[in-house]
Homo-oligomer: A and B are copies of this chain.
Amino acid sequence: MLEWLKEPEIHFPDQLQHAGFEHGVCVGQIQAKAGLTQSTVSEYLSILQRAGFIEAKRVGQWTYYKRNEGAFEALSKLIQTNL
């Protein structure tokens, strides 16, 4: 999922017709591609959010998730220096 969110226009072409990618990709799109249930995907995304790897933006009835690139940079640096 994290890799998918790196290039939304490539992995979620369906969403382009409805909304842009400014706020990220909505849960339904990710769920469809993941082939897991709605509840599983929702929970997974919320875990990634709490961990800081993605950010959520509620717009109407949809929740859009997008990557927080800073977190990946920080993790990379953490491994370099602390591990």
Q: Mark A52-78, 1 if CB is under 8 A from B, else 0.
A: 000000000000000000001101110
With a cutoff of 8 Å between Cβ atoms, the chain B residues found around residue A2 in the complex are 83
A80 interface contact, C-beta 8 A:
yes
A76 CA to B75 CA, complexed, in Å: 8
Which of A10-56 touch B at CB < 8 Å? none
Partner-B contacts on A (CB < 8 A):
2-3, 72-73, 75-77, 79-80, 82-83
What are 13 A-B contacts with C-beta separation under 8 Å? A2-B83, A3-B82, A3-B83, A72-B79, A72-B80, A72-B83, A73-B80, A75-B79, A76-B76, A76-B77, A76-B79, A76-B80, A79-B79
